[in-house]
């Protein structure tokens, strides 16, 4: 129904189905970027999200460079089944976005072995991270059947 390229980091598509879906694809700045650039990204993401029709089921997915921890304060927007014990700065910003938009971070709510949670391995194979995420509105969370890698 609609496609919009917002910038090098964001685009969204609106798809017709039994229900209409607004799907936003994102590529967040890495952890080493300055806070100003990260804040600008999340402001743009919130703007795009707010432009999606209210009646659509909204899904946000992509590479957020965010390690989302298992901290109790993240619940109910992030579950207790993530890969990381603590979040990094980008993880904190992603949880803030999920809270502000009443979304859940899908990859943290399903129980899987750690090998099925990894979305990025370092070139030497020693460091494993989950930095790619899918978010869905909390009121539609039952539509999300499973999230895992591989």
- Provide the CATH number for the domain around residue 70: 3.60.10.10
pLDDT at 143: 83
pLDDT tens for residues 44-99? 999 999 999 999 999 999 999 888 878 777 778 787 777 666 778 888 999 999 99
Q: How many domains does the chain have?
A: 1
Could you tell me whether strands 128-129 and 21-27 are parallel, antiparallel, or unpaired per DSSP bridges?
A: unpaired
Q: Give the residue numbers spanning the domain of 41.
A: 2-143
| 33-37, 59-63, 96-100, 111-115: range with lowest mean pLDDT | 111-115
* Per-chain mean pLDDT for the chain: 87
Q: Is the pLDDT of residue 123 over 80?
A: no
Nearest by Cα to 96 from 78, 72, 118, 70: 78
Q: Is residue 148 part of a domain?
A: no
């Amino acid at each position: 129904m609609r496609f919009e390229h917002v910038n090098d980091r964001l685009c969204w598509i609106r798809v017709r189905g039994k229900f209409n879906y607004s799907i936003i694809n994102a590529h967040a700045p890495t952890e080493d970027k300055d806070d100003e650039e990260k804040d600008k990204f999340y402001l743009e993401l919130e703007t795009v999200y707010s432009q999606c029709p209210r009646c659509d089921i909204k899904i946000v997915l992509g590479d957020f460079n965010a390690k989302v921890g298992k901290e109790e304060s993240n619940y109910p927007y992030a579950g207790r089944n993530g890969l990381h014990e603590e979040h990094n700065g980008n993880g904190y910003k992603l949880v803030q976005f999920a809270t502000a938009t009443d979304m859940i971070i899908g990859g943290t709510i399903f129980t899987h072995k750690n090998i099925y949670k990894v979305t990025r391995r370092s070139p030497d194979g020693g460091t494993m991270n989950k930095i790619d995420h899918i978010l869905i509105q909390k009121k539609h969370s039952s539509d999300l059947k499973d999230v895992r890698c591989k």
